[in-house]
Amino acid sequence: MERLLFKKQEFEELYGCERLTPEQWNSFAKPDIWIGLLYLIPGVIYLILYFPCLIVMREKKFSKHSCYKLMFLLGFFDVFGVILSAIIPGIQTFQAAFSGEVFCSHRIFNYIVGCFSTGLWGCTCLTCIILAFNRTLDLLNPKIWEKLFDGKRTYFWYVPPVFWGGYFVLFSYPHVYTTIAFAFFFDPYHGIEAPGFLHNDAIRPHYVHSTNNIGTTILLIAMYSILCLFMLCKTKKAKGAMKITQTQKMIFIQCFLLCVITLTTASIYVIMQWINTPVWLIVIGQITWQGAHGGAAVIYIILNKSLQKSIKKLFILRTLFKSSIPKIKVKSVEISRQKNFS
């Protein structure tokens, strides 16, 4: 973002669109209504499912647990991540079928979306690592876990993801969406081949982003491998002093599934930024990225019985509240009529 705000000359050199006319830029777009719908429809579903999950997570019975505090933070990032990785690309891909849509079609808008989507991805990765660390300590060493995460101490762990994501937004090269390959790339001209057209290798791939993805992959695999081995050992020795509760198992499974999607996305995006990748794998990478942000809501609703009950109660209460409003109005009308007749 700093290049757009403070380094105009560098921004024009790296993201300039004066080399071709708008019609020429749009001619490179590859319209595909079905891929647009494939991105857009799941994105809408993710948002519909996620909002009630976040509302009930703020209830005291959930928010008193450190893992739910972290899952709420992850959910906050995810909602915006779904909008930027699924809703907007879905609309752009759908629109490309009618008017064409590449980076230069809406340069400033695409650049800003790229900055914030890159930042949210950094936030998500680090939050997943902290969540995995939280689960690891909870099972392996509850005393250290209590010192680091008990009570309001968990809120301290909100700071690193925000700063890490903020660094990506302000200082990194953003990846930007293009309908030429139906995904985000650091090269704004990805897939454009024209006589005399040169690509700027300075912005592809971005090493900090790749380091983030590689580090996320390694750390998540390491921590969840340790957790899996620990749980297997404790399951075989169920009579031991440290017995794993059913709640701990279910929370572990949910956190594991959340981070597996993030891990898969990080791995695919490392590959596609460095290696010439087929379109089908690129689309899978984009879908897994959307799932990394929105899939959590599906996991919560399917596996988390406590959240299920609270969400049902939330909708039942709202339904009862709405149904009681007309009755109150009828009573007030009847009372006013009685007063008038008297």
Per-residue pLDDT for 161 more than 80? Answer: yes
Tell whether the model's pLDDT for residue 195 goes beyond 70. no
Same domain flag for 332 and 196: no
> Domain for residue 151, yes or no?
yes
143 part of a folded domain: yes
CATH of the domain at 299: 1.20.1070.10
Q: What is the pLDDT of residue 117?
A: 92
Same domain, 52 and 82: yes
Same domain, 323 and 291: no
Residue 142 is predicted with a pLDDT of 85
181 shares a domain with 325: no
| Contact status, residue 280 vs residue 182, Cβ threshold 8 Å | no
pLDDT at 32: 80
Query: For residue 322, what are the domain limits?
Result: 314-342
Residues 342 and 265 in one domain: no
What crossing angle do the helices spanning 207-236 and 159-171 adopt, rounded to 10°? 150
CA distances from 200 to 51, 187, 245 (A): 41, 7, 54
Of the listed ranges 89-93, 190-194, 199-203, 273-277, the one predicted with least confidence: 199-203
Query: What is the rounded average pLDDT of the residues 122-144?
Result: 88
Mean pLDDT score, 153-171: 93
Choice among 44-48, 160-164, 201-205 with the minimum mean pLDDT: 201-205
pLDDT at 242: 52
* Domain total of the chain: 2
* Residue 318 reports pLDDT greater than 80: no
Q: How confident is the model at residue 41 (pLDDT cuts 50, 70, 90)?
A: very high
> 272 and 334: one domain?
no
pLDDT of 341 reads 42
> Residue 309 falls within a domain, yes or no?
no
C-alpha–C-alpha distance, residues 164 and 209, integer Å: 11
Let me know if residue 35 belongs to a domain: yes
Q: Rounded mean pLDDT of 4-27?
A: 83
Evaluate if residue 167 carries a pLDDT over 70: yes
Inter-axis angle of helices 107-140 and 246-274, to 10 degrees? 140
Confirm if 137 and 148 have CB atoms less than 8 A apart.
Answer: yes
The pLDDT, as a whole number, for residue 42 is 92
Q: Tell whether 278 and 333 lie within a shared domain.
A: no
Same domain? 206 vs 328: no
Report if pTM > 0.85: no
Q: Does residue 230 or residue 170 have the better pLDDT?
A: 170
Q: Which residues, other chains included, contact 41 with Cβ-Cβ below 8 Å and sequence gap of 6+?
A: 90
Instruction: Evaluate whether residue 327 is within a structural domain.
Output: yes
**Residue 308, in any domain of the structure:** no
| Residue 337 in domain | yes
Per-residue confidence band for 243, with pLDDT thresholds at 50, 70 and 90: low
Give the Cα separation of 268 and 184 in Å (integer): 12
- Which residue is associated with the tokens 């059913």? 246
209 within 8 A of 168, measured Cβ to Cβ: yes
Asked whether residue 49 is assigned to any structural domain, the reply reads yes
**pLDDT at site 248:** 63
% of the chain at pLDDT higher than 90? 20
Mark whether 299 and 323 lie in a shared domain: no
pLDDT digits (tens, 9 = 90+) for 268-315: 777 776 777 788 888 888 888 888 888 888 888 888 888 888 888 877
229 and 335 part of one domain: no
Nearby residues of 336 by Cβ (< 8 Å), 6 or more positions away: none
In this structure, the answer to whether residues 190 and 338 fall within a common structural domain is: no
Q: Is the pLDDT of residue 330 over 50?
A: no
Q: How far is CA 272 from CA 181, 185, 253, in A?
A: 11, 9, 29
Residue among 292, 278, 145 at smallest CA distance from 217: 292
pLDDT, position 48: 92
Share of residues in the chain with pLDDT > 70 (%):
81
User: Using one digit for the tens of pLDDT, what is the confidence trace for 49-101?
Assistant: 999 899 988 888 888 888 889 989 999 999 999 999 999 988 888 876 666 67
Look at the alpha carbons of 74, 78, 81, 86 in this order and tell me if their dihedral is positive or negative: positive
Q: Which of 28-32, 71-75, 164-168, 181-185 has the weakest average pLDDT?
A: 28-32
**Pair (33, 124) in one structural domain:** yes
pLDDT of residue 329: 47
